[in-house]
Amino acid sequence: MSKMLASVNCLAEALTALAAGVDIIDLKQPAAGALGALAVADIREIVTHIAGRCPISATIGDLSLQPEIVYPAVAEVATTGVDYIKIGFFPAGNPLAVLESLRPLCDQGQALIAVMFADAQPDFALLPSLKHAGFTGVMLDTQHKQTGSLVQLLSPATLSEFVTQAHSLNLISGLAGSLRLHDIPELNKLGADYLGFRGALCQQQHRVNALDPDAVNAVLRAVQA
């Protein structure tokens, strides 16, 4: 059964997600992009308040995929004590050089999650390189929310292939990208480790609005069904 990842942008939202019983609290700033980052001080405050009661992931922002840019951002977020750090593998840049630069952090035990984008020609051939570098997992998301949701952009067969390939490499797999309540039953059949949500949890179903506790509970029940 898949678990639920809930993206939040502040301490109050993190506490709402914790109270609902979500499986992982994901820290990001939706108003700042697909993987917009919270300030490191805010991440640290949330980690302190959650105090190990729920796993926490955090993004590093929509950064150019260059080692000299990505590595310092990841290293800084690592000082906050989050359980997972999410890194966007955007189309441009040098993914293999980035992976090589991050290998020491993986060797030190930091759990890194690569995020590929359904609307940016995700290259599943990169998955073995992620495993070789020591990454813990990989997610599929959407970069430009106006281009459609994950399930509109990629077929069930393609999503299943992604999950299967990730699991064959012992990588945690996640699916996200403007997912809605009605998408959950079919996505649950794919066997991804996590289904990630933001907009579906918010007031008026808009990702930059505040969390709606009733929506969080409804999505969690559907994921667990």
Model confidence over 94-152: pLDDT tens digits? 999 999 999 999 999 999 999 999 999 999 999 999 999 999 999 999 999 778 899 99
Amino acid letter, residue 107:
D
Q: Is the pLDDT of residue 207 over 90?
A: no
Q: What is the CATH number of the domain that holds 61?
A: 3.20.20.380
Count CB neighbours of 97 within 10 A.
15
d(CA 47, CA 18): 12
The count of structural domains within the chain is 1
- What is the CA 70 to chain-centroid distance, rounded? 16
Is residue 174 within 8 Å of 187, Cβ to Cβ? no
Task: Give the per-residue pLDDT at 188.
Answer: 97
Region label for 140, one of left (φ > 0), alpha (ψ between -120 and 50) or beta (otherwise): beta
Task: Give the per-residue pLDDT at 76.
Answer: 98
CA-to-CA separations, 92 to 72, 149, 220, in angstroms, rounded: 19, 22, 35
In residues, how long is the chain?
225
Report the predicted TM-score, pTM, of the whole model to 2 decimal places.
0.96
Q: Please, which residues have CB within 8 angstroms of residue 20's CB and are 6 or more apart in sequence? A: 6, 213, 216, 217, 220
What is the token pair recorded at 184?
């959950």
What torsion do the CA atoms of 7, 9, 12, 15 make, to the nearest 10 degrees? 30
Q: Which string of b and e fits 48-73 if b means at least 16 CB within 10 Å?
A: eebeeebbbbbbbbebebebebbbeb
Q: Which domain holds residue 154?
A: 3-224
Residue range 183-194: mean pLDDT, rounded: 98
Task: Give the per-residue pLDDT at 147.
Answer: 81
Task: Give the per-residue pLDDT at 1.
Answer: 85
Q: Is the pLDDT of residue 80 over 90?
A: yes
Instruction: Just list the catalytic residues.
Output: 28, 86
Q: Please, which residues have CB within 8 angstroms of residue 124's CB and are 6 or more apart in sequence? A: 116, 161, 162, 165
Task: Give the per-residue pLDDT at 35.
Answer: 96
Nearest to 36 by CA among 67, 64, 59: 59
pLDDT tens for 8-59 read 999 999 999 999 999 999 999 999 999 999 999 999 999 999 999 999 999 9
**What pLDDT band is residue 211 in, cutting at 50, 70 and 90?**
very high
